[in-house]
Amino acid sequence: MTGPVIHTYRAAEPGLFVNSYLVEAEAGVVVVDTNLLVSDIEALRARLRALRKPLLANRRTWHGEEETVLMGQYMLLLVGRGAQPQATDEQTRNYNARWMEYMGGLARSGVLRAGAPFAATGQVVRRGAVSDAELGEVDIGGFMLIEAESAEAAAQVAEQAPHIALGGSVIVRPCLEVPPPPDSPP
């Protein structure tokens, strides 16, 4: 890509353009003047998914006011009992289905970047030594990497995790943006 590319997109009705734009660059996409209609937002999400780049910011204007919302990445560490994806009892299958609905909704909305439960094993690597991790019955059982407008928005995503209702918790950590090395190509 030699420079930014400006994209338009259509709302749910064929042929009707939405009055907002996506500015695509190497690092990601900035949305300018996002509309608030549900059909327009769904069209925006579909266009963002098709571009396969992160949403960096959303610049909104209304009634002469302007606001730029920078999107940040947050790591959510899921603390609770270990996952049982192969369970056959009805209660655990229903619980797993709630996780699938939750994760699927986050993925469809463009919030989820990555996520998975952890296996019940692990290793601790130190200088000159590798040993088995001593995992507790309650431990960090998985992760999600999400994009959100703020730490508060990331916490709201975390609060909806199905294991919260069972006494689990989520550690929410903002990810730092690391600039490329000075000698890297643009």
Distances (CA, A) of 127 to 60, 75, 121, 130: 49, 26, 20, 8
The answer to whether residues 47 and 9 touch, using CB atoms and an 8 Å cutoff, is yes
More confident residue, 163 or 184: 163
* pTM above threshold 0.85: no
**What fold characterizes domain 72-174?**
Alpha-Beta Plaits (3.30.70)
Q: In this structure, are residues 21 and 5 in contact, taking their beta carbons and an 8 Å threshold?
A: no
pLDDT in tens, 115-169: 999 988 999 999 999 999 988 888 899 999 998 888 888 999 999 999 999 899 9
The angle subtended at Cα 129 by Cα 116 and Cα 172, nearest 5°, is 30
Per-residue tokens: 76: 């959510």
pLDDT in tens, 54-99: 777 777 665 566 655 557 889 999 999 877 878 888 988 899 899 9
